[in-house]
Amino acid sequence: MLTSKMHGGIIPPIAQDLHRKNIENVVADALKEANLSCNEVDAIATTVKPGLPLSLTIGTKYGKHLCRTYNKPFIPIHHMEAHALTARMHDSTIEFPFLVLLISGGHCLLAIAQDVDKFLLMGQSFDDAPGEVFDKMARRLKLKDILEYSEMSGGQAIECAASKATNPLEFNFTPTLLRYRDCNFSFAGNKNQCVRHILAQERKHGLSPDAIIPGVNNLCAGLLLVMTRHLCHRVQRGMEYAALKHLIPSDRRTLVVSGGVACNNFVAAGLQVLCDGMEYKLARPPHKLCTDNGVMIAWNGIERWRANKGITTDLDSITIEKSSPLGEDVRKDVELANIKPKWIKLTGLVNQNENVKKDVLQNNG
């Protein structure tokens, strides 16, 4: 993590080298903490897609090595499927089918989880992911130069700055994809609007690009608000599509939100307002399990083991994939449904800033 921060992001060859140097000790420590030996393990679950090939190669090779050494079956894991199912580890009331929103620095997906290995993809971002926008704008706003944000991720810094806003509506942001009646996402427009606001403030106050602009907290709040509204609107259409097609029974209306951006309490507050209005239950894993972690991979392996799905002993057939879609793509069918929702009002979000501020401070120490 410190190496990634020093370089301003993940450098694949460095990540691979760190994986190679640490994987054996990490596995040994995990087994020791669980008071287990490899002989007592039922199977080996490893991420094989999607992701950085250099890193996936290290994990997959080592997983296969353990399978051969201890004569264990292999369970190949789809990274996004693992995110989608993690909430079930902490909440046994979440039953298939359920709606899932995966939001992170690399992805933004809306899907219906029908089973451990069956998903319907209703929408995804066709440009920047939300976490990517937060990270880029945090860098452009020099939030790391502000002492209290210096050790935070970009998303955390944006959220904390936004929680201190005095006028979240100071900077105008235009919602995206208003004319498109589907569940796809787009955040590049909001990112570009934010950059234009920054440039305008720098010109107005005669600031150099390395200075902190006045109203930085309000700008973060405006960006966070428009992106949260966009997420909520696309998810609401997904909920109405699911109802139209009878894909989720009325007694199982659950929205699971996972991925790094699921840690954002303002985003969660917006989704909670939406869920309340649509009679859905909102579920998100503990913060430490929203971001990428090994526990979610292990849990996905357990889910597949219990369901007896995706387990193999043919190790030579297992390959890694840099890119891999999530489930069956029904995005075109969503578009053809031509759903025009009566939007759940999210205006109360602006007034929830104090509550969100308390949550932010609590979760960020």
Q: What is the pLDDT of residue 71?
A: 97
Mean of the per-residue pLDDT values of the chain: 91
Tell which residue, 259, 324, 319, has the closest CA to residue 51: 324
pLDDT band at 9 (very low <50, low <70, confident <90, very high): low
pLDDT band at 362 (very low <50, low <70, confident <90, very high): very low
- Residue 360 above 50 pLDDT? no
Residue 64 within a domain: yes
User: Residue range 187-209: average pLDDT?
Assistant: 95
155 within 8 A of 134, measured Cβ to Cβ? yes
DSSP 250: G
Task: Name the residue type at position 94.
Answer: I
Residue 162 within a domain: no
Sign of CA dihedral 218, 219, 221, 226: positive
Supply the CATH number for residue 49's domain: 3.30.420.40
The total of other beta-carbon atoms located within 10 Å of residue 217's CB is 18
Residue 85 within a domain: yes
pLDDT band at 1 (very low <50, low <70, confident <90, very high): very low
Q: Which residue has the tokens 């130069």?
A: 145
DSSP 76: E
- Residue 358 above 60 pLDDT? no
In angstroms, rounded to a whole number, what is the distance separating the alpha carbons of residues 14 and 7? Answer: 10
343: tokens are 């939007």
pLDDT band at 332 (very low <50, low <70, confident <90, very high): very high
How many domains would you assign to the chain? Answer: 1
Tell me the per-residue pLDDT of 52-91, one tens digit each, with 9 for 90 and over. 899 999 999 999 999 999 999 999 999 999 999 999 999 9
Q: What is the pLDDT of residue 118?
A: 98
Tell which residue, 44, 49, 39, 82, has the closest CA to residue 64: 44
Note the maximum CA span of the chain: 68
Q: What is the pLDDT of residue 5?
A: 52
**Host domain of residue 46:** 12-91+290-307
20 within 8 A of 58, measured Cβ to Cβ? yes
Q: Parallel, antiparallel, or unpaired for β 254-258 and 98-103?
A: parallel
Side-chain half-sphere of 269: how many Cα atoms within 13 Å? 22
Tell me the per-residue pLDDT of 106-151, one tens digit each, with 9 for 90 and over. 899 999 999 999 999 999 999 999 999 999 999 999 999 999 998 9
Residue 56 within a domain: yes
Residue 146 within a domain: no
Tell me the per-residue pLDDT of 301-317, one tens digit each, with 9 for 90 and over. 999 999 999 999 999 99
Is pTM, for the whole model, over 0.85? yes
- Residue 357 above 50 pLDDT? no
Roughly what angle, to the nearest 10 degrees, separates helices 154-162 and 353-363? 140
Q: What is the pLDDT of residue 350?
A: 67
Residue 44 within a domain: yes
- Intra-chain end-to-end CA distance of the chain, in Å: 19
Residue 355 within a domain: no
Which burial class, exposed, middle or buried, applies to 6 when counting CB atoms under 10 A from its CB (0-12, 13-18, 19+)?
A: exposed
In angstroms, rounded to a whole number, what is the distance separating the alpha carbons of residues 255 and 101? Answer: 7
In angstroms, rounded to a whole number, what is the distance separating the alpha carbons of residues 200 and 203? Answer: 5
Residue 79 within a domain: yes
- Residue 363 above 70 pLDDT? no
